[in-house]
Structures are given as structure tokens and as C-alpha cells.
Structure 1
Amino acid sequence: MIRWKFLIPLVALCGMSVPAHAGDDDKVPYWASIDTDLANMRVGPGESYRIAWVYRREHLPVKIVRREGPWRLIEDPDGDKGWMRDLLLSRQRSAIVTGDGLIEMHAEGKAGSPVLWRIEPGVVGLLGNCESGWCGFDVEGHKGFVLSERLWGTGEP
């Protein structure tokens, strides 16, 4: 009988250490961004695998395709895939301008609003809410709205 006194609290403590539900953190794919100005993408999920790419672009958007322990299989805007440590990534949403030619950043999320800036392809910015084909976009403090069709990192991953 004495054994049960110790076993029941032990089982209860073990149950407390496991989350009640997995939540959105376990679902892939999802959007993320590189959270440092220097990040290595490897060919496999571990430090022993060779480095395939070195990224030097903080906030570059990436798609998380798979999880394996602390490693994430990512896809970058060019479609390249490889493994990166979760410590180098952030859930903060960002986007990169794609396509040809400049795009206009407007004061509001509609075509008739004043144009604040013109942005070239390859520019990375933090992503705000997206509604009716327009997304809030922040490029180093220059904030406005751009057409979502010219951004990689919006919509469903």
C-alpha cells in the first residue's frame, strides 16, 4: 500500500509535464523568418552535415516544411530546401518583394491611396495583416501597404 502513495503523485507529475494539446506549434507547413544576420542552412538535420547555404539576411521569409527535434527543414524564396536550427528562426512573419519592376507602397490598403514609396524586387520587410489583396509592410520603419500578389511569404504556406 505504501508504494501506491508514491506512485500516484509521480504519475500525476509526469502528466503535468506533457502539454494537453499539441497546438499550432506542431503543425507544418508554416511561415517563419530568419532571426539573425548570419544563418547556416545544412543538407541534413545536425551540425555534422555540410553547410549548403549561408544566409546574411535578417527577416528573410522561409517556409517550415518539416520538424525534426530542434531542426527545421526550410524552403527559401528561391525554392532551395535545407535544414536550419530552430534558434535561428522566428515566428515573426515577413515577406520579400517578387516579380519584375518596382511596386508601390501605399498609405492605405487600396489603389487610390497616396503612394509613399516605390520598392524593388528583393526587398524584405515585416508583414502585417493582409486583407482584400493588400498587406501591411514595414521596411526598416517605412510602413505602408503593398499588393499581396507581389510578396512571397503571404497566404497559406
Structure 2
Amino acid sequence: MLSFHLPRTAFVRPLLLAAAAVGLLAPTLPATAQQMVSIQGSAVNLRAGPRANAEVLWEVTRGYPLKVVGHQGRWLRVQDFENDRAWVARSLTGRTPHHVVRADVARLRSGPGTRFKVLAQLPRYEVLRTRGKQEGWVRVERESGQRGWVAKRLLWGW
């Protein structure tokens, strides 16, 4: 009987590449990592259960960031910055990073630090597109297109 001894990578690498190409391998996240999503629709209902006819608990607008805490079929169980939980259809969410103002008021500054000029006052619940991060500061963009920096401790999201 003939036997062949090929390096293990001769078999494993092509299998891994093929599995990744067809989406069979999902990225593995550390146990402490949070999966975040943001709302894609202009206004989306968050529901009491994983079905379209479940009671509407509240509505969120485009970009609103949510932490995924579970899933069932095509539905995600999500949590907001106030630790409220609800269900949302996965198809209504995306992976575009956003933050929401969790402080009563946050100052939008021209740079990442308190010595920079204040450009605007941001109200609680304002949703901001995340554009970058730097040592305790988040570079954001408002719906109006105005850009600036906000202290990370005043925001929630990714």
C-alpha cells in the first residue's frame, strides 16, 4: 500500500480558503468584544419580540447605534445606551459606525482636546457618524455634514 505524506497545510489552507470564500467561516470575536450595528432605515421600529407584528416599544432613526445581545432567525436582540432591550429585523441594520450623545449636552470641538474651539453644542440623543478616534476623543459628522471632535465619555457607540 502506498502512502503519501504531504504537509498538513497542503490540505488545510485550500479548505480554509474555500470555506471563507463561501462564507462558512465567521470571524471569531473575543468573549469581551461587542457586536454593534446601526440602523439603516430612516425610521425603524424596535419591537417587544422577534416578529413583525410584535408590539412596537420605540422608534429609532438612521445611524442609531445598538449593541447586539442575541439573535433569533432574521431578528437581532439589541440593547441601547440606556440598557433598554428590544428586537429589530437584521435587514434594517448595518455595520456603519455611529455614536449617540449620551450626555445632556456635548461640545463639538475643532480638534481632539478641550483646548480646541467649540463648534456646536450637541443635544442628548443626537446620532453622529463615526469618522475616527484618538485617545479618548471621537471624530464625528453630524447629519448636516458638520464635522468635529467629541469626548468619548460623552458618547455611546463604536
Q: Which segments of 5 or more consecutive residues in structure 1 lack a partner in the other structure? A: 1-11
The counterpart of 1:131, out of the listed 131, 134, 139, is 134
Q: Supply the RMSD in Å over aligned alpha carbons.
A: 2.5
Q: Give me the TM-score of the superposition, normalised by structure 2.
A: 0.75
State the partner residue of 2:48.
43
Q: Distance in 2 between matches of 1:22 and 1:152?
A: 26
Structure 1 residue 136, shift from structure 2 partner: 0.6
Q: Which segments of 5 or more consecutive residues in structure 2 lack a partner in the other structure? A: 1-14
Structure 1 residue 56, shift from structure 2 partner: 4.2
Is residue 60–residue 124 contact of structure 1 (8 Å, CA) maintained in 2? yes
Tell me the percent identity: 23
- Aligned with 1:149: secondary structure? helix
Q: Give me the TM-score of the superposition, normalised by structure 1.
A: 0.75
Structure 1 residue 116, shift from structure 2 partner: 1.5
Q: Aligned pairs, how many?
A: 138
Q: Distance in 2 between matches of 1:85 and 1:31?
A: 14
1:29-80 C-alpha deviation (Å, 9 max, x unpaired): 31111111222222222235x2232414211111111122221111123322
Q: Distance in 2 between matches of 1:126 and 1:136?
A: 9
Q: Distance in 1 between matches of 2:138 and 2:114?
A: 12
Structure 1 residue 20, shift from structure 2 partner: 5.0
Is residue 39–residue 60 contact of structure 2 (8 Å, CA) maintained in 1? no
Q: Distance in 1 between matches of 2:74 and 2:113?
A: 41
